[in-house]
Amino acid sequence: MKLSLVAPCYNEEANIKRFFDAVKTAFDGKVTDYEIVFVNDGSKDGTYKELKKLYDENKKDNNIQVLTFSRNFGKESAMYAGLSNAKGDYVCIIDADLQQRPEVVLAMLDKINSDEDIDCVAAYQENRKESKAMSGIKSGFYKFINKIADVDFVNGASDFRLMKRSMVEAILDMSEYHRFSKGIFSWVGFNTAYIPYTVEEREFGETKWTVGKLFKYAIDGIISFSTFPLKLATAIGITTSIISVLYLIFVVLQKLIAGIDVPGYATIVVLVLFLGGMQLFCLGILGEYLSKIYVQVKNRPIYILKEHLGKDDED
């Protein structure tokens, strides 16, 4: 098996068949030896039915696997499951919603075959189809996280990428529960080449991203690949301690030398609120890390499979 396409699907009933056809058309005569690993991430619509139908229709070609989760575990888990079961020497992660065209995979293959030294070809969005404010926020986030994290994050790079088997194995070795793939791809190393692509409009179904989810994702990324917030808490603590000692000296001198009674109420209220706020903020940072550790040590599986169609030893 040469190429595996890993396609996470969550409520994509209208896209499954069209995705499959698009791949077939794009690959026709160019890529013959390939499989598609669909991961049905606990879809609530007819995605499973569509996948089952597709699987039955193409059973003789033996080029489709369908992994069905017991519930929705999220795209990160779906990608992990797909990578775990992909059999190709090359593996490409691609969305099932046709926003990422299969034609781009051909360009990725050309690129990876053009230079032996390349282990991974990632597609990045040259121009984002989103509001100025949103892309401003995103590029600000990338600047920030690149400053504080141990690994490089490339703005605009998505999960849409083609990897050699060696890189896939390295990613599978990172079996952490809280998965932030943008960081993982970068952490494992390997030579990555980037090619620009344009994201298509979503024709059917809807995006699963909300502003709230994006925000949480950003925080997860920071917590997963940086200990900067913890150090920030220390820095805040030290700074406020120094300032408070200086202020204490100032107040005592005011009283002793100038004989001024410090007008107390407002100062005290402001200080109590400010310090209380800072303490809670720092506790919150600790809590974020603690909760990640807590979930990780429970060692729960990243996903639970309900069914695996097209598994080797099935027939």
Least CB distance from residue 279 to Mg ion, whole Å? 41
CB of 201 to ligand UDP, least distance (A): 10
- Binder to ligand UDP among 14, 18, 72, 144 (CB under 6 A)? 72
Q: Are 151 and 183 a contacting pair, CB within 8 Å?
A: yes
Between 94 and 121, name the residue whose CB sits nearer to ligand UDP.
94
Question: Least Å distance between CB 200 and Mg ion?
Answer: 9
- CB 9 → ligand UDP: shortest distance, Å? 5
| 253 three-state secondary structure | helix
| 3-state secondary structure labels for all residues of 96-152 | CCCCCCHHHHHHHHHHHHHCCCCCEEEEEECCCCCCHHHHHHHHHHHHHHHHHCCCC
Q: Is 208 in the site for ligand UDP (CB under 6 A)?
A: yes
* Distance, CA of 41 to CA of 11 (rounded, Å): 8
Nearer to ligand UDP, 78 or 149 (CB): 78
Q: 119 is in the binding site of which of ligand UDP, Mg ion, none (Cβ under 5 to 8 A by kind)?
A: none
3-class DSSP assignment, residue 210: coil
Residues 6 or more apart in contact with residue 9 via CB below 8 angstroms: 15, 16, 38, 39, 40, 41, 43, 47, 51, 78, 96
String marking each residue 61-100 x if it binds Mg ion according to CB under 5 A: ----------------------------------x-x-x-
141 binds, among ligand UDP, Mg ion, none (CB under 5 to 8 A by kind): none
Kindly identify the residues of this chain, within the stretch 99-118, that bind Mg ion according to CB under 5 A.
Answer: 99
Pairing label, strands 120-125, 90-93: unpaired
The 120-125 sheet, strands edge to edge: 192-197, 120-125, 157-164, 90-93, 3-9, 34-40, 64-69, 305-309
* x/- letters, 188..207, toward ligand UDP (CB under 6 A): -------------------x
Residues that bind ligand UDP (CB under 6 A): 8-10, 12, 41, 72, 74-75, 78, 95-97, 99, 207-209
